[in-house]
A and B are shown apart, each in its own frame.
Chain A
Amino acid sequence: MFVQLYLSQWREFSRDRMALFFTILFPLIFISIFGLLYSGGSKFDEKVGIVLEDQGPIGPQIASAIEGLTKTPDGQDPDENVFSDMKFSRGTANELEAQLQNGDLQALVIIPAGLSDSITSGQSASVTVKVDQTSQVFAPFFQGVVDNIIASVDQNITQSKPMLTMQVQSVLSSQIRGIDLLIPGILAMSIMQLGLFATAQPMIAMRTQGVLKRFNATPLPRWMLLISYVAMRLTIGLLQTIIIIAVGKLMFDVAILGNIFVLIGWLLLSILMFIAIGFFVAAIAKTEESGNAITQLINFPMLFLSGVFFPVTGLPDWLQVVVKAFPLTYTVDALKQVMINAPPISTPLVNLLVQAAWLIVMTVLSIRFFKWEAR
């Protein structure tokens, strides 16, 4: 029963050229296009100005940590450090802002006076990063990196461990290239689209066309149908993963730095979460058309704002709040962390809890609202 159901769905899927295109070929096309754009030794060669007004000990730490981005840790190839060609200059706020205005600088970091005093007296203080928004790849990326440096400085102060440089280097040791960032993002995108397009749409079609009703008229238990349906989607998801990782490895030498079993764990969680979201869409959509609309409504914002193509740290604050609610943000973050040791946005525990919460809530709502029959 299970085997026949599973085989039938596999045949239905593998004979559907559109489904094959969107689940397998589409991500590969993305990887190829962006891979070619990002790779080929295209490093960041932007000029960054640093204004150090702080007289205390913490400001200079931050400044030198940022300047230290160009240094490559021992034993690693400088060619793989995307920041090694960057130029840094120091100066006063007035002159450097003028340079940023006329395009001589692409970013400016201002470490304000009194920063050290504020922090040591337990008050909050902030470092300002101004970026030339025309450099679309660099600007959000650099902002993200500075955020991480400051976070690690923060951490060091609160834990009173003077290991700032080590911390910064661990951020750097990943030697992230554009394509490295892209592969986990594309993987996350494929998983989301598996949940939306390959889970919700066929289920709605099966209901509106009466296939579910026909199954209902046989002794086939519903749980058996659901299990085979989910198992089939898991298979497609893992297949996509293998293909994307293999292509990343073969074409662009993107290696998996983290533990492979941890990666598989994250993948399973994300796939199940998006299948649950897919089921929820199938539960609330009455027709194939409305299902389509809901799917796109979920797909597009998440696709462009969850860090698939550029880091979420570059987004304006109000949008960050929205982005923090997207499940894909956490999928992308978790996959980037485990695959390329990317600087974290959320801790693994937060990623785990948020995705598990989405999985559980969506499953419960799907069970509550799912209809087996049209009308």
Chain B
Amino acid sequence: MTAIQVENLVKIYGSLRAVDGISFEVAKGEVFGMLGPNGAGKSTTTEMIEGLRKPDAGNIHVLGHDVLKNIEPIKQRIGIQLQTTSLFQKLTTRELVKLFASFFKNTLPIDEVIGLVNLEEKVNTASKDLSGGQRQRLAVAIALINDPDIIFLDEPTTGLDPQARRSMWDVVSNLQKRGKTVFLTTHYMEEAERLCDRVAVVDHGKIIALGKPQTLIHDNFHETALEFSDDERLPEQLLTSLPAVERVQNEDGITTLYSTGVARTTNALMALVEQQQTELRGFTIRAATLEDVFLKLTGRRIRD
């Protein structure tokens, strides 16, 4: 069963094609992520699906309804957390959840929703006095108040410290366990790998890869990544000719070798370093990640 269906979505701002022909489907009960750098078109896409922005071309169906023609029944059944939500500053957590509850026909009990995001201790705190993470969780609580079939989370962990981020991940995992469809955007590949059943990697308004995180990684890499930075910049042709090296990537002063034989490459690399009389800093060996996928497809890293 399809929760969200998007076909050839286009949004143009002036001369910029912010969303440039995006198509995908999200199944019910799935956690679907859009991963990409800032300005890739994630939020614009999300807001078009939510009915907050009109696309310049394309079709969107949510829960079987056409978003462009019949948004009202959809609004009752989706929950939305915007990238930045500021609410009435002086209202408490409970008052704000109650306010939003009054907008919907069917709602969950207010305390249950506050419990779902672990804000029980802050029910009587004014929203301006909540921390960034607590405010994000309040925004999620408000998104959950109508017991929605689909929950949209736009960059739910941006700007949060690691602990607040884990706390938000727990909330999303719980939603998944309750059988909810979750549509989230993020520019943290770790978040996408960890939370999402499927990921659409987007850049410049286009989907450049779509699939399960592990599949995306395996499809692009059967290699292991060796990562280091060196002051002298070892010549790239020397690195490429090292044994078992498939590809070399240079970005932000960090060199990544994708190798099919870690031991052979490492030994040869060390010999090369000695011969060139240079030094390596931060030498790591790791499995490929979505970051590597993005790097391979775009030549850039996701973050900035």
Give Cα A213 to B83, complex, Å.
Answer: 11
Interface residues of B in 157-199 (CB under 8 A from A): none
Query: Can you offer 23 A-B residue contacts whose CB atoms are under 8 A?
Result: A5-B99, A5-B102, A7-B99, A8-B96, A11-B88, A11-B91, A11-B95, A12-B89, A15-B90, A209-B86, A210-B85, A210-B86, A211-B86, A213-B52, A213-B82, A214-B85, A216-B52, A217-B51, A217-B52, A218-B80, A218-B103, A219-B103, A220-B103
Q: Smallest distance from the beta carbon of A219 to chain B beta carbons, Å? A: 5
Cα–Cα distance between A336 and B76 once the two chains are bound (Å): 51
Q: Which 10 A-B pairs have the closest CB atoms?
A: A4-B102, A15-B90, A209-B86, A218-B103, A220-B103, A217-B80, A219-B75, A12-B88, A1-B102, A8-B99
**A25 to B82 CA separation, bound complex (whole angstroms):** 38
Chain A residues with CB below 8 A from B51, complex form: 217
Q: Is the CB of A218 within 8 A of B75?
A: yes
Cα distance, A5 to B82, chains bound together (Å): 20
A286-334 CB contacts (< 8 Å) to partner B: none
Q: Is there contact, CB below 8 Å, between B102 and A219?
A: no
> Is the C-beta of B87 less than 8 angstroms from some C-beta in chain A?
yes
Alpha-carbon distance A12/B86, docked complex (angstroms) = 13
A1-B103, A8-B96 known; 6 new pairs, CB 8 Å cut-off, are: A4-B101, A211-B88, A218-B75, A218-B100, A219-B75, A219-B103
B88 surroundings in chain A (CB, below 8 A): 8-9, 11-12, 211
Given contacts A214-B82, A217-B52, A217-B82, contact A12 B75 (CB under 8 A): no
| Cβ of B86 to closest chain A Cβ, rounded Å | 4
* B91 A8 Cβ-Cβ under 8 A: yes
Tell me the nearest residue of chain B to A214, going by C-beta: B85
Cα A12 to Cα B51 in complex, Å, equals 28
Q: Is B50 a contact partner of A217 (Cβ separation < 8 A)?
A: yes
| B28 contacts partner chain A, Cβ-Cβ < 8 Å | no
Main secondary structure of the interface of A (DSSP, over half): helix
CB of A16 closer than 8 Å to a CB of B: yes
Residues of A within 8 A of B232 (CB): none
User: In whole angstroms, what is the CA distance A136 to B75 when docked?
Assistant: 62
Contacts of A218 in B (CB 8 A): 75, 80, 100, 103-104
How many Å lie between the Cα of A215 and that of B86 in the bound state?
Answer: 11
Query: Is A33 an interface position by the 8 A CB rule?
Result: no
B86–A4 contact, CB under 8 A? no
Contacts from A to B (Cβ < 8 Å): 1, 3-5, 7-9, 11-12, 15-16, 209-211, 213-220
Chain A CB within 8 A of B84 CB: yes
- Contacts A210-B85, A214-B85, A219-B76 hold; do A12 and B90 have CB atoms under 8 A apart? yes
B296 on the A face (CB < 8 A): no
Chain A CB count within 10 A is highest, among B95, B103, B105, B126, for: B103
- Measured CB to CB, the nearest residue on chain A to B73 is A219
Chain A residues, CB < 8 A from B76: 219
Instruction: Assess whether B121 is interfacial by the CB under 8 Å rule.
Output: no
What CA separation (Å) do A37 and B102 show in the bound complex?
51
A15–B101 Cα gap in the complex (Å)? Answer: 22
CB contacts (< 8 Å) of A11 on chain B: these are 88, 90-91, 95
Known: A217-B75, A218-B100. Contact between A210 and B84, CB under 8 A? yes
A210 touching B82 in the complex, CB below 8 Å, given contacts A16-B90, A219-B104: yes
A214 partner residues in chain B, CB cutoff 8 A: 80, 82, 85, 87
**B72 is an interface residue with CB less than 8 A from chain A:** yes
Q: Measured between C-beta atoms, what is the minimum distance from B65 to chain A in Å?
A: 13
User: Of all chain B residues, which has the CB nearest A4?
Assistant: B102
Most interface-central of A11, A213, A218, A219 (chain B CB within 10 A): A218
Cβ–Cβ contact B90 & A219, under 8 A: no
Query: CA A220 – CA B76 in complex, angstroms?
Result: 10
Contact with A along B17-58 (1 / 0, CB 8 A): 000000000000000000000000000000000111000000
Closest to B50 in A: A217
- The yes or no answer to B122 lying at the interface (CB within 8 A) is no
Q: Distance in Å from the Cβ of B183 to the closest Cβ of chain A? A: 14
In chain B, positions 55-84 with a C-beta closer than 8 Å to chain A are 72, 75-76, 80, 82, 84
Q: Which residues of A contact B247 (CB under 8 A)?
A: none
Q: Is B98 positioned at the interface, with any CB of A under 8 Å from its CB?
A: yes
Of all chain A residues, which has the CB nearest B143? Answer: A217
Is B87 touching A211 in the complex (CB atoms < 8 A)? yes
CA distance A216 to B54 in the complex (A): 13
Query: What distance in Å separates the Cβ of A286 from its nearest Cβ neighbour in chain B?
Result: 17
Residues in A whose Cβ lies below 8 Å from that of B84 = 210
A215→B88 CA distance, assembly (Å): 11
CB neighbours (8 Å) of A219 from chain B are: 72, 75-76, 103-105
Shortest distance between the CB of B151 and any CB in chain A (Å): 12
Nearest-neighbour CB distance to chain A for B144, whole angstroms, equals 13
Within 8 A of A (CB), among B103-162: 103-105, 126
Looking at A9, A11, A214, A217, the one whose CB has the most chain B CB atoms below 10 A away is A217
Distance in angstroms between the alpha carbons of A334 and B75 in the assembled complex: 47
Cβ-closest chain B residue relative to A15:
B90
Nearest-Cβ distance from residue B150 to partner chain A, whole angstroms: 13
Shortest Cβ distance from A224 into B: residue: B103
Q: Which B residues are in CB contact (< 8 Å) with A5? A: 99, 102
Contact A12 B102 (CB under 8 A): no
| B87: chain A residues within 8 A (beta carbon) | 211, 214
Which residues from A are CB-within-8-Å of B82? 210, 213-214, 217
Chain B residues in 8 Å Cβ range of A12: 88-91
